[in-house]
Every structure is written in structure tokens, then in C-alpha cells.
Structure 1
Amino acid sequence: MKMNYFVFGTNNMEKAVSFYDAFFAASKVNKVHAQGRMTLWANEDFMFAVAEPFDGKDATNGNGTMLGLNLNSSDEVSQLYQKALTLGGKSEGEPAIRSGRFSAYVRDLDNNKICLFE
């Protein structure tokens, strides 16, 4: 079994799409769908989307909910962490060794938490 996709809710599709377009720009994760209430990026291993909630209510970030992205090097972790901050994201933990792995934590513009690790 493997992860198929992950979706973060958003209250501002335009800003969320701009953030993730730039966030994924140097990777092999490409936008494959942008229609209606959902925008989707994918590569050969997984899909990621931002969506306006189907029920029409405000999107909220879950306490304890987190997307983990496995990167190829500690340099890539640090670079993507800095890029997220430059794009308006917030730090939740600077790049460092945690539990034996090099990792960093950021929140996107809707306050969703992302772990970047090698």
C-alpha cells in the first residue's frame, strides 16, 4: 500500500495556488488539474491538492494534521524551508536533526503544517 493523495483545504484558492506553484517549481511535481474548487499537483509517486471545502464552510487546519515530504538531501530541505518562508509561510521548526533525520517544519498560508525531511 502507498499514499495516493493528500488534500489541504483553503479559504483563498488564488493565494494557495500561487504558494504551491512556487513551492513545487524546482521539483518534478507539476500542476495537472485546476478547475472549480480544486487544484491538483502530481508526480509519479503521489498527488497533492488544495481545495475549497465541498460543504461550503471555511477550511480549517487540523491540530496534529501534517503533510510529510521526503526530500533527497539536507540542502534540499533547507532550500525548500527557506522558499516556503519567502512565499509567506511560517516556521514551525528550523532545519535540524530530529529523531535521527534532518527535517524542518513550515505552515502554508492557510496554516497547514508541512514537514520537510531527508
Structure 2
Amino acid sequence: MFAYAMLGTNDLPKALRFYDALMALLGQERCWTGENEASWGALDAQGVGFCVTRPFDGEAARVGNGVMLAFKTPTAELVKTLHETALEMGGTSEGAPGLRPHYGDGFYVAYARDPDGNKIAFVCYDATEGA
């Protein structure tokens, strides 16, 4: 369904440090770096890429209310590790790791904001109680 997802940044070097750490845990190498943006994953017809960029119009990046990207993980333990790493790398918590049964059985998620204030989530769809 998606070709790629992109978030704006006002501090590309800080965003690279933050997302390099998270993407490494997700097994996604940085596949492209330019003067104003970088990408992880795949930027081709076979996969989905994730990008951060300084806005092309030269204006400051602004956070959208109600906008969030969620990264799928295979385990609840990885959700916890990603959330901890996000905080260690300068992000802030928007919701501690845990089961959210109102979203479905086994839905385990943690929420954070990156250093620019973009909201992200880490999700495992089939976690068990006590994860």
C-alpha cells in the first residue's frame, strides 16, 4: 500500500543519530543519505522505505496533530527495547510499553516522540500476557 513514509526534521544530524539507533534494532540499514534527507529500508518497488528530511520548501518542520508512524516489530520485548532506546537517544515517552486490549488481542505498543516532536509507535500484534 505505501511506497515510503517521511517525517520532517529541523536537525538532520540529530535525527540521523536517533533513527540510526532505532532502525538498527529493526534490522533496517540506512539505504540513502543526501544533503537534506536520509532513508532506511527499501526505496524500490519491492519494499517500503522510511525517510527523514528537512522540508523542501525551506520552512521549519512542524509536527501535525494526529499524525503518527507505527513501526511493526516481531516481539513485545523489541517494543520495550525500542522505546528505551528512543528515550536514550533524546526522544520522549508518549505511552509506556504494554498491552492495549481495546485495539485487539495481543496488541502490544509503546509510543514516543522523536527529537523534533514527531510521534512514533512500536507495535507487536501478537504479544502474550506478561510480555
> Which residue in 2 is equivalent to 1:8?
7
Pair 1:103 & 2:113 matched: no
Q: Secondary structure at the match of 1:116?
A: strand
Deviations along 1:75-115, one digit per CA (max 9) or x if unpaired, are 01111111101111100000111123111100000000011
* Larger strand share, 1 or 2: 1
The 5 A counterparts of 1:79-98 are 79-98=81-100
Alpha-carbon distance in structure 2 between the residues aligned to 1:42 and 1:8: 15
> Which residue in 2 is equivalent to 1:36?
35
**Structure 2 residues without counterparts, runs of 5 or longer:** 125-131
Amino acid at match of 2:10: N
Q: Secondary structure at the match of 2:32?
A: strand
Counterpart pick for 1:74 among 76, 87, 106: 76
- Give the TM-score taking structure 2 as reference length: 0.85
Alpha-carbon distance in structure 1 between the residues aligned to 2:49 and 2:34: 15
Amino acid at match of 2:70: G
Alpha-carbon distance in structure 1 between the residues aligned to 2:40 and 2:123: 20
> Which residue in 1 is equivalent to 2:120?
114
Q: Is the 8 A contact 2:25 2:82 kept in 1?
A: no
Amino acid at match of 1:54: F
Alpha-carbon distance in structure 2 between the residues aligned to 1:110 and 1:97: 27
Q: Which moved more, 1:85-94 or 1:18-27?
A: 18-27
Amino acid at match of 1:102: Y
Alpha-carbon distance in structure 2 between the residues aligned to 1:31 and 1:108: 17
Pair 1:60 & 2:62 matched: yes
* Root-mean-square deviation over aligned CA pairs: 1.2
